[in-house]
Structure formats: structure tokens, C-alpha cells
């Protein structure tokens, strides 16, 4: 008998193709990425790393051909080594890095490995606070790293930009060992050069090296395509990212570094120049066991796709669509945090726009096949589970080929659903409006089915 799981996968395929994915951290991978992920590579244990001394500058076919020594703890690695080398080489080319560690199982694992590589327990980290738009892994109290390290948070200004003056003041006051620029709900392009200058001042005052880290989990695809500045081009030492958001690869993490690349077997001195080795040792054996080579293969495929000219067009369209959606939402009476967007992400203040909270709106939109998430706003007065905003974005719908005209349609449906939420007042009462919601659901379904999900 077929496992029940497969029926549920079929249901999920239907949900994905008949609805529109507006969660800004999600995307639809290609058939090739899915194929690599579902391959026999999942059978292999490969603790350790391939050696890639001498590789930089090689053409891909040579990387795929040459069998070289490795730093692995198991036999049978010839194919896996070459696949992981391809992933590393492509990642370095995409992001102008000296070294890439492609093994982190997720963005959270990548960030934890960086902290472990560079910090001692009790050391101070300065990053964007969670309420301002930062991520849980940047020191939220509920995380393990917040128990080990001392996180200080900077905020955003009323117009939604990083409060650089506050960042500088806090940096010079607390002399952090690590300064972090990264976020999950921030719509501007950071001034990386300005933060790099602040780092220099801190290092000079403190008399020690300060690691400058960017967590570009959200905008990595835009950076890879050259439609968003790359922190590694502006004096940052290291960048972490997820591989599954705008980068459109499998779920996973990635750490990119500047510095000297060498064998991970010997413990190096803790210096910025040695970051590549420190990171390799911190990922394995520091914080993870065996790498997921099927996922690494899928990362390699996704990086290959991102190196193609079509990906640049895709990334440009993500931003164009986000701006068009933001404009249409504003025309329909939605108040946007920061007034709009410079990337793929939009944060709507539904409380000030219509008087209800993000949770009821998330539920009502789910009922019509528009998927997004309730999200806190900076200085939100709502409870954590009743935030005043919703967060949405355009990476997934742009992959399906929706354009400016469809952004206007989506904004129109969102307005119709908002009007129903005003009448319903509570989530429980939404069912009273099932006819109206059902009609919008049908329009969303019709729209979605015109733009098939690539891998289905
Ligand atoms: C900025 C940032 N960092 C890290 C992560 C964590 O990634 P993952 O969910 O893969 O652990 C996220 C995910 O939302 C993120 O937005």
C-alpha cells in the first residue's frame, strides 16, 4: 500500500499550484534542484571536506573531472568530493568570496557556526534587534546563542532605515567582537560602507580585530544577480545566507568568507585572515555532523542556475514586482512600513490601515489562497502572537512569471479581504463570510493556474 505521506504530498502540490505564495522567504525550486535533492546522494556519509587547494581559477569541467585528496573520515568520496567542489566554486564566483562552506543545514546553523568560530562565551555581538526587523538567530533571548554570548541590539529610524547613529554609539560603547548586519523584515538597502567604517573605529578603540558579518538570508539572490550591493565588496569579512529564499535553491545554509584558504585539519590562530579555516572547523566538527550531500548537490545546481543571465532578469523582476505591489497596495489604502520597498519585501501596517491585527488578516488571506505571515512592526504595541503587521514579498510569484498587471490584481484581492476582516472583527467570525471569501478564492485560483509552478 502506498504510504499516506504521498497522498499528503499530492495535496501540498495542489495547494502550491492553486494558491499564490507571498511569504518573502519562500520560493519554487526548479525540477533539476528537486532531482538532485531526491537523489542517491542521501545515502552517503561524508564527514569532513573536499580539498580544493589549487582549484580557484579552474574551469567547471576540470573540477568535475579531477579526483583529488580530501579531508574526509569515510571512503567512497570521489563523486561527492567533486559535487561539493562544484558547489563551493560556484558559490565563491556568485558572491566574490575567497571561500564557501556549503555544509550548514540551515541559516540558523550557519549563524551559530560563525559565532562558535569567532567568539568566546560572554563576548559581545552587536546586531539588529528582533523587533526592529532582525532575526531570531541574532540574539533573541529564546535562542541558545543568547545564553552563550552577549547580544546588544540596534534599531531602525521612523522611516525604516537602520539607525546608523545608534549603531555607532552602541558599537563604541560596548566594543563588540562581532558587528552584524542582517534582517528578516527590512526593506531598505543597507549602507555597508558606513558600517565598515564603524567597525574600523571600534577595532582601533578596542585594540582587537572585530568581525564584520552580514546575514543576507533574504536578499542573497538579489546580491548574486547584482541587483543589490554585496557586503563582501564593501569591506565585510563574512556573509551567511540561506539558500532557499531569493537564491531559489534547496532549504539550507551557506557561509562565504574572505581570507586564506587552507587545510581545516590544523587549528589556526583566531584572526580574520584565517576565517575560512575557522569556519570550516566550526561547521564540522564544531556544530554539525555529516553533511547532507544530496542538499549540497541541489545547492550546486541552484548556484549554477543563479550564474546564468536569466537569473539576473529574474532578480530584476522580483524588485520591479515588489515596487509595483507596494504602489498598488498604497493606492488601495494600505500603510507600508518605511513607505515602500527597495528589495523583495513589504511590511504592511494593517492595524493603522484598517484597525485589525496581522493574525486575522493572515487567516483570511489563507482562506482565499494568498499565503503570507503576520509580523511585528518596529515598536509594535500588539502582543507577540497578535502583531500589527503582515510581511509579504515577490520572489515566489515572480518565479511563476507573474508581472506588474498581476501585482495590481493581488493588491485588489487583498483589499477585498481587508474589507471582510473589518466586518468580521474576529477570526472565528470569518466563516460567516465564506461566500464572499469563496468568490475571491476562485479568482485567486484562476490567476494562479495561469502561471504553473515550475517543478510541477
Ligand atoms: C536573516 C535570517 N537569518 C537566518 C535565518 C534562518 O534560516 P533557517 O530557517 O534556514 O534556519 C532566516 C530565516 O528566516 C533569516 O531570515
Sign of CA dihedral 219, 342, 397, 417: positive
C-alpha 264 chain-centroid distance: 27
Residue 300 contacts residue 87 (beta carbons within 8 Å): yes
User: Closest residue (by CA) to atom 16 of ligand 1?
Assistant: 184
Mean pLDDT over 370-389 rounds to 90
According to the model, what pLDDT value does residue 384 have?
Answer: 74
Question: How far is ligand 1, taken at its centre, from the CA of residue 135, in Å?
Answer: 7
**Parallel, antiparallel or unpaired: strands 370-371 and 20-21:** parallel
CATH class, domain 312-449, is alpha beta
Q: Measured between alpha carbons, how far is residue 143 from residues 54, 109, 255, 294 in Å?
A: 39, 12, 20, 28
Q: Which residue out of 184, 231, 246, 391 has the highest number of ligand 1 atoms within 8 Å of its CB and is therefore the one to mutate?
A: 184
Contacts of 426 (CB under 8 A, 6+ apart): 360
According to the model, what pLDDT value does residue 52 have?
Answer: 74
Contacts of 26 (CB under 8 A, 6+ apart): 244, 245, 395, 396
**445, three cell numbers:** 485560483
Ligand 1 atom nearest to 107, measured from its CA: 7
- Per-residue pLDDT of 179-227, as tens digits, reads 999 999 999 999 999 999 999 999 999 999 999 999 999 999 999 999 9
Contacts of 118 (CB under 8 A, 6+ apart): 177, 178, 211, 270, 275, 278
- Per-residue pLDDT of 286-342, as tens digits, reads 999 999 999 999 999 999 999 999 999 999 999 999 999 999 999 999 999 999 999
Is 53's pLDDT higher than 80? no
Of the given ranges (46-55, 156-165, 317-326), which has the lowest mean pLDDT? 46-55
Question: How far is ligand 1, taken at its centre, from the CA of residue 350, in Å?
Answer: 24
Q: Report the distance separating Cα 100 and Cα 89, nearest Å.
A: 8
Q: Taking CB atoms and a 6 Å cutoff, what residues make up the pocket around ligand 1?
A: 25, 106-108, 111, 135, 137, 182-184, 215, 217-218, 242, 253
- Domain residue spans in the chain? 38-306, 312-449
Q: Helices (H), strands (E): how many in the chain? A: 17, 14
Is 58's pLDDT higher than 90? no
Q: What length is written for the chain?
A: 456
User: Closest residue (by CA) to atom 7 of ligand 1?
Assistant: 107
Q: Report the distance separating Cα 202 and Cα 276, nearest Å.
A: 23
Residue 120's Cβ-side half-sphere holds a number of Cα atoms within 13 Å equal to 1
Given pLDDT bands bounded at 50, 70 and 90, which one contains residue 54? low
Q: Which residue out of 113, 180, 182, 217 has the highest number of ligand 1 atoms within 8 Å of its CB and is therefore the one to mutate?
A: 217
Q: Residue 222, exposed/middle/buried by CB under 10 A (0-12, 13-18, 19+)?
A: buried
Residue 168 contacts residue 198 (beta carbons within 8 Å): yes
Q: Report the distance separating Cα 387 and Cα 391, nearest Å.
A: 11
Q: Report the distance separating Cα 35 and Cα 15, nearest Å.
A: 21
According to the model, what pLDDT value does residue 1 have?
Answer: 79
Question: How far is ligand 1, taken at its centre, from the CA of residue 129, in Å?
Answer: 14
Question: What number does CATH give the domain 38-306?
Answer: 3.40.640.10
pTM of the model: 0.97
Is 250's pLDDT higher than 80? yes
- DSSP codes, 299-340: HHHHHHHHTSHHHHHHHHHHHHHHHHHHHHHHHTT--BGGGS
For 277-301, the three-class secondary structure string (H helix, E strand, C coil) is HHHHHHHHHHHCCCCCHHHHHHHHH
- Per-residue pLDDT of 82-127, as tens digits, reads 999 999 999 999 999 999 999 999 999 999 999 999 999 999 999 9
Q: Residue 62, exposed/middle/buried by CB under 10 A (0-12, 13-18, 19+)?
A: exposed
Question: How far is ligand 1, taken at its centre, from the CA of residue 163, in Å?
Answer: 22
Residue 248 contacts residue 221 (beta carbons within 8 Å): yes
Beta bridge partners of 78: none
Active site residues: 45, 47, 215, 242, 245, 251
Return the beta strands (E) in 144-224 as ranges. 150-154, 178-182, 211-215
Share of the chain above pLDDT 90, in %: 94
Question: How far is ligand 1, taken at its centre, from the CA of residue 107, in Å?
Answer: 5
Reduce the DSSP state of residue 63 to 3 states and report it: helix
Mean pLDDT (the chain, rounded):
96
Q: Report the distance separating Cα 227 and Cα 32, nearest Å.
A: 24
Amino acid at each position: 500500500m502506498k504510504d499516506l505521506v504521498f497522498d499528503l504530498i499530492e495535496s501540498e502540490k495542489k495547494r502550491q499550484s492553486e494558491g499564490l505564495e507571498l511569504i518573502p522567504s519562500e520560493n519554487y525550486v526548479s525540477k533539476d534542484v528537486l532531482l538532485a535533492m531526491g537523489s542517491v546522494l542521501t545515502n552517503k556519509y561524508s564527514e569532513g571536506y573536499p580539498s580544493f587547494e589549487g582549484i580557484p581559477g579552474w574551469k567547471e569541467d576540470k573540477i568535475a573531472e579531477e579526483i583529488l585528496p580530501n579531508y574526509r573520515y569515510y571512503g567512497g568520496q570521489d563523486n561527492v568530493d567533486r559535487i561539493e567542489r562544484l558547489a563551493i566554486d560556484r558559490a565563491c564566483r556568485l558572491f566574490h568570496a575567497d571561500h564557501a562552506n556549503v555544509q550548514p543545514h540551515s541559516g540558523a546553523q550557519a549563524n551559530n557556526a560563525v559565532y562558535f568560530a569567532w567568539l568566546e562565551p560572554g563576548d559581545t555581538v552587536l546586531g539588529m534587534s528582533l523587533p526592529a526587523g532582525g532575526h531570531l538567530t541574532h540574539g533573541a533571548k529564546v535562542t541558545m546563542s543568547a545564553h552563550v554570548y552577549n547580544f546588544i541590539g540596534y534599531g531602525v529610524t521612523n522611516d525604516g532605515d537602520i539607525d546608523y547613529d545608534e549603531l555607532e554609539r552602541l558599537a563604541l560603547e560596548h566594543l563588540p567582537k562581532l558587528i552584524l548586519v542582517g534582517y528578516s523584515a527590512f526593506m531598505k538597502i543597507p549602507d555597508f560602507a558606513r558600517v565598515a567604517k564603524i567597525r574600523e573605529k571600534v577595532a582601533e578603540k578596542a585594540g582587537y580585530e572585530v568581525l564584520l558579518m552580514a546575514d543576507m538570508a533574504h536578499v542573497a539572490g538579489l546580491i548574486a544577480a547584482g541587483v543589490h550591493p554585496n557586503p563582501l565588496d564593501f569591506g565585510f569579512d563574512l556573509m551567511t545566507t540561506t539558500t532557499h529564499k531569493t537564491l531559489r535553491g534547496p532549504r539550507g545554509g551557506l557561509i562565504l568568507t574572505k581570507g586564506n584558504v587552507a587545510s581545516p585539519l590544523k587549528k589556526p590562530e583566531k584572526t580574520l585572515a584565517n576565517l575560512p579555516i575557522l569556519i570550516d572547523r566550526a561547521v564540522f566538527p564544531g556544530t554539525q555532523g555529516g553533511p547532507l550531500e544530496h542538499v549540497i548537490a541541489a545547492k550546486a545546481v541552484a548556484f549554477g542556475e543563479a550564474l546564468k543571465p536569466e537569473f539576473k532578469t529574474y532578480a530584476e523582476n522580483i524588485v520591479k514586482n515588489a515596487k509595483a505591489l507596494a504602489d498598488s497596495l498604497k493606492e488601495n489604502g494600505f500603510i507600508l512600513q518605511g513607505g515602500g520597498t527597495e528589495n523583495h519585501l513589504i511590511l504592511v501596517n494593517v492595524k493603522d490601515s484598517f484597525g485589525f491585527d496581522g493574525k486575522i488578516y493572515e487567516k483570511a488571506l489563507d482562506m482565499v489562497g494568498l499565503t503570507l505571515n503576520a509580523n511585528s512592526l518596529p515598536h509594535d504595541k500588539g502582543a507577540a502572537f497578535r502583531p500589527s503587521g503582515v510581511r509579504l514579498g515577490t520572489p515566489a510569484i515572480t518565479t511563476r512569471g507573474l508581472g506588474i498587471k498581476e501585482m495590481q490584481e493581488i493588491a485588489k484581492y487583498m483589499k477585498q479581504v481587508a474589507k471582510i476582516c473589518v466586518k468580521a472583527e474576529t477570526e472565528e467570525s470569518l466563516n460567516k463570510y465564506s461566500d464572499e471569501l469563496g468568490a475571491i478564492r476562485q479568482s485567486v485560483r484562476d490567476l494562479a493556474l495561469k502561471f504553473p509552478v515550475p517543478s510541477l
